[in-house]
C-alpha cells in the first residue's frame, strides 16, 4: 500500500507480475504521480481487463497482459483444463468456471485445435484494439468446423 511505497527510495522501478492486488493500484497511481515510482511494469490488475484504467495514462508504465502465464508449460496445462471443462459444458455437465477455461484439445478432432487458437488470438486482439467491454460475440462457420462454432469457438473467444 501507500505506507510500503513511502518507505522505498525515490525514483524506484517497480515490477509486479505476481498477482493483482499485491500493490494497491491507488498507491501505484500516487507513487507514479509523485515521482516516487520512476517506472512501473505491470501485467496484473485487480479488475481485468484493465480498460480505461488511470494507471494507463502514465507514459512511464509498461503493461503486458499476463505474460507470466504464457510459458509453454502453463499454456499446455491451461489448454488441457479448458478443453476438459469445455467438453463438460458441451455435454451439459456442470463446470466450475465461466471464463478463462483452458481447452483440452486431445479429445477433439485434430482439425479443431487451430481454429480454437485462431479465435482465441482474434478475441485477444479485439480487446486490445477496442477498450470498450464486449457485449456479444457472434461466430459463423461453414463446413465441418461449423459443427463446433457455436460451442468450442465461442468458448475460445470468451475464455
Tens of each residue's pLDDT in the chain, 159 residues = 888 899 999 999 998 876 667 778 999 999 999 999 999 998 877 777 777 889 989 999 988 766 666 677 777 877 788 787 777 766 666 555 554 555 566 667 777 778 777 877 777 777 777 777 666 667 777 777 777 665 665 555 555
Residues 112, 152, single domain; the answer is yes
Residue of 4, 19, 26, 147 marked catalytic? 19
Catalytic (active site) residue 53:
no
Does residue 124 share a domain with residue 99? yes
What's the pTM value of the predicted model, to 2 decimals?
Answer: 0.44
Answer yes or no: do 35 and 78 share one domain.
Answer: no
Find the domain containing 13 and state its range: 2-65
**Where is the domain boundary, 43, 65, 87?**
65
User: Which is catalytic among the residues 30, 48, 81, 84?
Assistant: 48
Q: Looking at the 3D structure of the chain, how many domains does it have?
A: 2
Does 150 lie in the same domain as 82? yes
Same domain membership, residue 78 and residue 56:
no
Catalytic position from the list 66, 80, 81, 84: 66
Query: CA 70, CA 16: separation in Å to the nearest integer?
Result: 16
Amino acid at each position: 500500500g501507500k505506507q510500503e511505497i513511502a518507505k522505498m527510495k525515490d525514483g524506484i522501478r517497480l515490477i509486479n507480475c505476481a498477482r493483482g492486488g499485491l500493490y494497491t493500484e491507488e498507491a501505484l497511481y500516487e507513487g507514479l504521480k509523485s515521482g516516487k515510482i520512476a517506472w512501473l511494469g505491470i501485467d496484473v490488475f485487480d479488475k481485468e481487463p484493465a480498460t480505461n484504467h488511470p494507471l494507463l495514462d502514465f507514459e512511464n508504465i509498461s503493461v503486458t497482459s499476463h505474460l507470466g502465464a504464457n510459458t509453454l508449460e502453463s499454456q499446455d496445462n491451461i489448454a488441457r483444463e479448458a478443453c476438459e471443462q469445455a467438453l463438460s459444458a458441451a455435454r451439459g455437465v456442470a463446470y466450475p468456471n465461466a471464463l478463462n477455461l483452458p481447452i483440452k484439445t486431445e479429445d477433439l478432432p485434430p482439425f479443431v485445435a487451430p481454429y480454437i487458437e485462431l479465435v482465441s488470438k482474434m478475441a485477444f486482439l479485439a480487446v486490445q484494439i477496442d477498450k470498450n467491454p464486449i457485449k456479444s460475440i457472434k461466430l459463423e462457420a461453414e463446413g465441418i468446423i461449423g459443427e463446433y462454432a457455436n460451442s468450442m469457438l465461442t468458448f475460445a473467444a470468451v475464455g
